[in-house]
Amino acid sequence: MSFNLGATSRHENFDQNGLQSAGQVVFGVLRHNNFTSYQDIQFTRERNILGVYGSTSIDYNNFIYATLSARNDWTSNFSQENRSLFYPSASLSFIPTQAFDGLRSDGGLNYLKLRAGYGTSAGFSAGYPTFNGLNTDTNAYDANANGGGILITNSTSSLLANPDIKPERVDELEFGAEASFLKRRVNLDVSYYTRDTRDLIVSQPIAPSTGYTSTTTNIGKIEGNGIEASMNVDIFESETNGFAWNAGVNFTKNDTEVTELVEGTDQIVFAGFTNLGNAAQVGQPLGVMVGGAVQRVDQNNPALVGNAIVDGVGDYIELTQDENGLVPIIGDPNPDFVMSYNSTMSFKNFSLNVLVTHQSGGDVYSSTIKTLLGRGLTTDTENRLGTYILPGVNVDDETGAITTNTTNINNSDYYFSNVAFGPDELGVYDASVIRLQEVSVGYSFPSKMLEKTPFGSFSITVSGNNLWFDAYNVPEGTNFDPNVAGLGVGNGRGFDYLNGPSSRRYGFSVKATF
């Protein structure tokens, strides 16, 4: 048995100082005195975090292990009543093959471990989410002054303060097993977990008409569960630098559902734009994509419910609010599952490693695909003389009669007016992709070759990353890679706003010891 008690105190101070200049006079002279205007850069942010923690570990006879731990943190940038959070953890593992010798055999089960764990973690927002800031500019340019002039201006921050912001807490319960078979040539690791996130901290975009552009807020509760599994097999084992081959596969599946939101809130768009972004909505996975949807026949017509509605000229009609006044859901960026396949071969001093990944499902809103199709810049639009009838129905405004759409539109109207600049839903595609993630070839020089050198070991490796991919559910001629982050760093996912194409990288490395 062992015990551990402690405390931490951390002070964070971010201080940015600089000068930005515009209006270069002499090309290529990157000196501030070669620019016609200057602007100071000044940003400061501080935070104190205090924590106390304790843990104890118990080991009985090398086959039962238990750990209990707890921690409490306080942060300086939250309100007095919300700045503290307590979060405990516990784990228990049992090794039957250690407790019962009869379970083990060379040609059968070599090792078995059963485990269960309950863990919690906390998160605190950086910056000053509970206070409205004041921005001072001593060098603001006023074009309306006589001949232009410099003013001193004060303005409120674009971030709306939220004095009720709370720290976020994640609770996870996990059950798992590890096993080895056939002289440890086959190894398995399987886990099932449930994860509840309370008061997840997000940056929520808000309408600029409020005087602000965003606020920091909490999402009530998110419930999730998932499976993680891996298997590694030594297909061939090396004997004195002979041929060896190890192959492995990993599988991950994770599902989430928003079960609670802040009282009085039905939908929080926390990334992107208020009318096109990722949202939290009760009963839906976290991060569903919302935007302009294709208007469809409602529940009042059970026989035709869900059919897309086409207007009098043959184009789809856009719906910007659903029956509850919310931005419609147009997709889900969360994949159904993710798998990876790894193969490592070696022979004498050579080695070859190949990694293939596969994402199944998940949606992406792609401005790149929309633009290529709408502008006719892909082989998918080569049938320039063809006509199209959009699948859907027409609804008579006076009588409400519903008839099957039979209106022909040309290639330009189909791709330009609908796919490219129609409802946002038409720009959502399945982001499933198979990828040759990495290939590397290495060579380690034998020790005899290094006897008269200062090296203890010397190896070289040539590698390539993202060498090939197939996003098999997007228009083939676009060659689009859905592995993009159009909303930058943060919680946003599944949006491409004409981002640069993904890169294929090659590398060469040398490793040596002396």
194-217 pLDDT, tens digit per residue, is 999 999 898 888 888 888 988 898
| pLDDT at residue 207, rounded to an integer | 82
| pLDDT at residue 397, rounded to an integer | 82
Q: For the chain, give the mean pLDDT.
A: 92
SS3 207: coil
| pLDDT at residue 147, rounded to an integer | 58
What does the block give as tokens for 201?
Answer: 């901290």
The residue-averaged pLDDT of 238-246 equals 84
CA 168/CA 202 separation, integer angstroms: 10
H-type alpha helices, 349-418: 367-374, 411-412
| pLDDT at residue 480, rounded to an integer | 95
**Backbone angle region of 451, left / alpha / beta, with phi > 0 → left and psi within -120 to 50 → alpha:** alpha
Q: Which has the closest alpha carbon to 371: 363, 380, 361?
A: 380
Q: Are 327 and 290 in contact (CB under 8 A)?
A: yes
Kindly tell me if the per-residue pLDDT of 496 is higher than 90. yes
Kindly tell me if the per-residue pLDDT of 126 is higher than 90. no
pLDDT tens across 63-109, in order?
Answer: 999 999 999 999 999 999 999 999 999 999 999 999 998 898 888 99
- Among 161-165, 400-404, 484-488, name the one with the lowest average pLDDT: 484-488
**Percent of the chain residues topping a pLDDT of 90:** 72
CA 230/CA 315 separation, integer angstroms: 48
Give the global pTM.
Answer: 0.84
pLDDT tens across 15-69, in order?
Answer: 999 998 999 999 999 999 999 888 888 888 899 999 999 999 999 999 999 999 9
Kindly tell me if the per-residue pLDDT of 303 is higher than 80. no
| pLDDT at residue 185, rounded to an integer | 93
| pLDDT at residue 68, rounded to an integer | 97
CA 194/CA 417 separation, integer angstroms: 45
CA 387/CA 42 separation, integer angstroms: 58
| pLDDT at residue 145, rounded to an integer | 60
**Per-residue exposure over 390-409, b if at least 16 CB sit within 10 Å of its own CB, e if not:** bebbbbeeeeeeeeebebeb
H-type alpha helices, 205-273: none
| pLDDT at residue 242, rounded to an integer | 84
What does the block give as tokens for 104?
Answer: 């083990």
| pLDDT at residue 143, rounded to an integer | 63
- Among 191-195, 225-229, 482-486, name the one with the lowest average pLDDT: 482-486
| pLDDT at residue 146, rounded to an integer | 58
| pLDDT at residue 299, rounded to an integer | 75
The residue-averaged pLDDT of 185-201 equals 95
In this prediction, residue 399 has a pLDDT band, given cuts at 50, 70 and 90, of confident
pLDDT tens across 405-446, in order?
Answer: 999 999 999 999 999 999 999 999 999 999 999 999 999 999
What is the pairing mode between strands 159-160 and 214-236?
Answer: parallel
In this prediction, residue 364 has a pLDDT band, given cuts at 50, 70 and 90, of very high
SS3 417: helix
In this prediction, residue 447 has a pLDDT band, given cuts at 50, 70 and 90, of confident
Per-residue CA distances from 344 to 247, 259, 355, 435, 476 (Å): 6, 43, 9, 17, 32
| pLDDT at residue 144, rounded to an integer | 65
In this prediction, residue 274 has a pLDDT band, given cuts at 50, 70 and 90, of confident
